[in-house]
Amino acid sequence: SETNKPVDTRLIKICKLLEKHISYYNWVGFYFRNGGKEELILGPYIGEPTDHTVIPFGKGICGQVAVSNENFVVPDVSAQDNYIACSITVKAEIVIPIFVNGENIGQIDIDSNTPDPFTEADERFLEFVCEKVAGIL
């Protein structure tokens, strides 16, 4: 899909705020469905650059959320077999889908260098963030 500069500027600010203020959020980014294709495209993010700018539906934690429409909390990435490693420092991951008119159009993806850091409070908070993001897309 086409880039939308004003929206991307706001999304990068959200990434920066989350990474700055929550110590165990070490890589924060957005992936969006690529139009009608069954793949995700990396959007705005903060943290180490990743080679995984395109992720097919079903592949990795992100690709699984694209098809499940459910939050995916991974306390220990080394225990996952369908996982795409972006950095060897990452210990845990959380992915929350973004819905627009009931449709899963993307997700927020957060990697942590801390083992098992995510609680239900993170899920509720990030669902709230994703609802706000859906409202500006």
Site residues (CB under 6 A) for ligand SME? 27, 29, 50, 52, 55, 60-63, 83-84, 86, 93, 109, 111
> How many C-beta atoms lie closer than 10 Å to residue 81's C-beta?
4
Question: Least CB distance from residue 84 to ligand SME, whole Å?
Answer: 4
**Closest to ligand SME by CB, 62 or 135:** 62
Strand segments, DSSP code E, in the chain are: 27-33, 39-46, 54-56, 72-74, 92-100, 103-112
**Closest to ligand SME by CB, 92 or 101:** 92
SS3 label, residue 117: coil
Question: Least CB distance from residue 78 to ligand SME, whole Å?
Answer: 12
**Closest to ligand SME by CB, 93 or 122:** 93
Tokens representing 11 are: 């999304």
